[in-house]
Structure 1
Amino acid sequence: MADATTKSTVNVGVIGYGVSATIFHIPFIAATPSLKLHSILQRNPAASALSAPRDHPAARHFTALAPFLADAELDLVVVTTTPETHFSLAQEALRAGKHVLVEKPFVPSAAEADALIALARERRRLLCVYQNRRWDGDFRTVQKLLAAADRPLGRVVEFETHFDRLRLDKPTGWKGALGIDRGGSALYDLGTHLIDQVYVLFGAPRSVFASLASQRDGLRAGPQRPDLQPDSVTAQLFYDAGLVALVRIAVASVETRQPRFWVRGTAGSYRKAGLDPQEPQLKRGLKPGDAGFGAEAAEWNGKLTLFDQADGSTRELDWPNADPVTYTEFYRLLADAVLRNREQDLPVPAEQARDVLRIIEAVKESARSHREVDLS
């Protein structure tokens, strides 16, 4: 691989050609001027409804890992396969001298994350994790509110982040079959996003208390059901100064406006319903850069309620999302980091994803033991 610091374009190779690759990665690679879709590894395109050679004839195509990684022109490998394969594929790509981006959930354990981080530094290559929901418009709005110099919410005492849906049918594919010990379940799939957002805002918690359950089956995780694949998560993350962050995932939530954020402080609160529009827009075929991409309809604006200490009154304001920068910003930052080979410039360094895995492991331990788990 050529020294990326001498190049102006990064050659990107994608491992896997499912929804992750076709919806969440390749459109953003194509939209980033300093990135080029160089190659795709799809083990059996003829047997798949999605065919990489048909869809991207200008790219190089491989059906085996060894020749894919042996390509000297390949700079950055994007791993979009199922979670239990992430560790071995990232390890082989790093050993081959490539920079690596891994789809979330990163790997099933913090120990595996540490091993990959050590290998990346040994080989002087970058290792990044695709926590793209840091660039959701509603989350960026929360970030701006909490960082505002005038502190409109005052001291934050409670923070709720939800991913509640009505999905009573078990999902097909790995999301319905992969065990929690291998990176499956709602905790690793959706919980990775929510816990990562809490981590970005407040850092690692002091302790965790959590419950995991299958709302579809009416079962709760614990010593009698350590193998349960939860579709529901209720986790409390405790911080100093009395702050509590609640992470909530449900599949039996019958609502017309599903909750997303509820942030309460000593001077105000912010409530938001609905999900960031980028994922459904991408699934409908909208591309990064298209008119309206990332923009949310005004009917889904959040509500900011402020307390007037002078007269004890409250007033509610319509609070639209911050101007969308969209997931394109993730890939722009990643491309710049690779071109400079600077770990500190990565949009989501692997160390941060490792810290989130430690919180996830505390959630699992708390649900198993029915006790608060100390992380301090």
Structure 2
Amino acid sequence: MQQISTALLSYGMSGKIFHAPFLELHPGFELVGAWERSKKLINDDFPMVRSYPTLEAVLKDPQVELVIVNTPTETHFEYAKAALEAGKHVLVEKAFTTTVAEAEELYELAQEKNLKLAVFQNRRYDSDFRTVKDIFDKDILGDIVEAEFHFDRFNPNLSPKAHKEVRTGGSGVLKDLGPHIIDQAMFLFGFPECLFADIRVTRENSVVDDWFDITLFYKKFRVRLKSSYFVREPLPSYVIHGTKGSFIKSRGDVQEDELKTGKKPMVTDWGKEPDFRKGVLHTEIEGLEVREHVPTLPGNYYYFFDDLYQAIKKHKAVPVSAEDGIKTMRIIEAAIESSSEKKIIQFQSVQVS
């Protein structure tokens, strides 16, 4: 298998937890190094790879074929643009960029250079969401009437990561946790006709948004997306009601927690939720009322990287496209406008550019 030589643009939590273990696991990738500014940590885990002193050193390395932009959101546009201009394929973490204009410029540049540009929406590969999508795809709830997705935490303290608590174009929960559930909603339901949003600051001494409530308007149903840092008793993360029945599922994916403990991912026997987190399906099937606990499908971020490999080496579609990233940024920008002006925002077009 021809390998893709890959460089990370940082080796903090995301590089160590979400990327390096799967690059190591997948036979189609070779981790060649990471840009490290002050702390030099990657060689503790991967003694044979490079610790690049600068971004320029990464981009000038002819071995590097794929660059993973896993730095703070406000840097995504600058670094992704530089990598594309250097002729590298690029994977960008969420939020894709800070503005729609930036997202569209990256898309156009990747098209011009004939390079792959993808967004790391790994939560599509979570066990809980995979199960929700499976139920949705089976069309056993009838016509959708409403859905509600939550990504909540109980964390009233400010983050020790300074860049998360300084008001910038990339800070705040709307651009941190928001892209996950916005992307998931559109992956299931498509792009909405309009939206209404309320965005707040609720933590003491916080200067960045830490609460949002967004309603996406579709022709025949509504989808509500919520996030808060003051949810000590979790609500179901996924609730879908249709004309025949309902499906309710808690957030239960175990991958992040297991990776943080140092567990190595596997292709199989990985990402299995405990049985007590099964979702509840209450619907009508072939005229009979059914209420049952549904086994959760396993989650595995390995398959994101496998899909990315197929895109780069086999010319298939990337797992989460720049076009998807642009649509998510349109929702975010519209939500900010809606909350500021206290009005419904109507979308005129869903064209990429």
Aligned equivalent of 2:237: 260
CA deviations on 1:238-276 (whole Å, 9 max, x unpaired) are: 0012x1000010111121x43211000000100112332
1:339 pairs with 2:326: no
Q: Please show how residues 272-283 of structure 1 align to structure 2 within 5 Å.
A: 272-283=249-260
CA RMSD of superposed structures (Å) = 1.9
Aligned equivalent of 1:53: 43
Q: Please show how residues 1-376 of structure 1 align to structure 2 within 5 Å.
A: 8-46=2-40, 51-148=41-138, 151-174=139-162, 176-179=164-167, 181-217=168-204, 229-241=208-220, 243-255=221-233, 257-289=234-266, 292-307=269-284, 314-322=289-297, 324-340=298-314, 342=315, 344-376=316-348
- Contact kept in structure 2, 1:11 and 1:36, CA below 8 Å: yes
Matched residue type, 1:352 = D
- Contact kept in structure 2, 1:136 and 1:326, CA below 8 Å: yes
CA distance in 1, matches of 2:267, 2:219: 43
Aligned equivalent of 1:223: none
CA distance in 1, matches of 2:339, 2:284: 37
- Contact kept in structure 2, 1:104 and 1:192, CA below 8 Å: yes
Which consecutive unaligned segments of at least 5 residues does structure 2 have?
Answer: 349-353
Q: Structure 1 residues 235 and 288 mapped into 2: Cα distance closer, same or farther (>3 Å)?
A: same
Matched residue type, 2:226 = R
TM-score (norm 2): 0.94
Q: Structure 1 residues 240 and 40 mapped into 2: Cα distance closer, same or farther (>3 Å)?
A: same
Matched residue type, 2:219 = D
Sequence identity (%): 35
CA distance in 2, matches of 1:62, 1:89: 15
Aligned equivalent of 1:224: none
- Contact kept in structure 2, 1:91 and 1:116, CA below 8 Å: yes
Q: How many residue pairs end up in the alignment?
A: 348
CA distance in 1, matches of 2:285, 2:272: 31
Q: Which moved more, 1:325-334 or 1:281-290?
A: 281-290
Q: Structure 1 residues 142 and 207 mapped into 2: Cα distance closer, same or farther (>3 Å)?
A: same
1:314: how far off? 4.8
Matched residue type, 1:246 = R
CA distance in 2, matches of 1:153, 1:118: 39
SS of alignment partner, residue 45 of structure 1: coil
CA distance in 2, matches of 1:99, 1:274: 32
CA distance in 2, matches of 1:208, 1:218: 29
- Contact kept in structure 2, 1:106 and 1:353, CA below 8 Å: yes
Matched residue type, 1:329 = Y
- Contact kept in structure 1, 2:130 and 2:299, CA below 8 Å: no
1:40: how far off? 1.4
CA distance in 2, matches of 1:209, 1:152: 29
CA distance in 1, matches of 2:263, 2:205: 38
